[in-house]
């Protein structure tokens, strides 16, 4: 079972959120429907702008912890390198799952 570390944004260069899950499509549906109370719902952080896949939950949690400690500029650079248009990658999740 894969595990995912992901970065959400409210808009381009907006508020960022780093999370981890074992079902990225389900988790994104929850974020977009604002079913999860807390930071993402309060700040409207629903655009999936970056994610990584890991084979173990330990690796994923370690990466999440690392990214949460990164400077904002480093996170922005990471997003810009792989998703320069800040597309909502959640739209591509169904094709990735097949």
List, for residues 33-75, the tens digit of each pLDDT value: 999 889 999 999 999 999 999 999 999 999 999 999 999 999 9
List, for residues 7-31, the tens digit of each pLDDT value: 999 999 999 999 999 999 999 999 9
Whats the size of the chain, residue-wise? Answer: 98
Q: Does residue 97 register a pLDDT over 70?
A: no
What pairs with residue 18 in β-bridges? 7
Domains of the chain (ranges, CATH numbers): 3-97 (3.40.1440)
Indicate the pTM of the whole model: 0.93
Report residue 93 CA to chain centroid gap.
12
């Amino acid at each position: 079972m894969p595990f995912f570390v992901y970065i959400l944004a409210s808009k381009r260069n907006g508020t960022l959120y780093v999370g981890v899950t074992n079902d990225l499509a389900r988790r994104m549906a929850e974020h977009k429907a604002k079913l999860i109370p807390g930071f993402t719902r309060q700040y409207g952080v629903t655009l999936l702008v970056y994610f990584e896949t890991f084979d173990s939950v330990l690796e994923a949690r370690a990466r999440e912890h690392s990214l949460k400690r990164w400077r904002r500029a480093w996170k922005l650079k990471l997003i810009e390198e792989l998703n320069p248009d800040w597309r909502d990658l959640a739209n591509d999740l169904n094709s990735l799952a097949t």
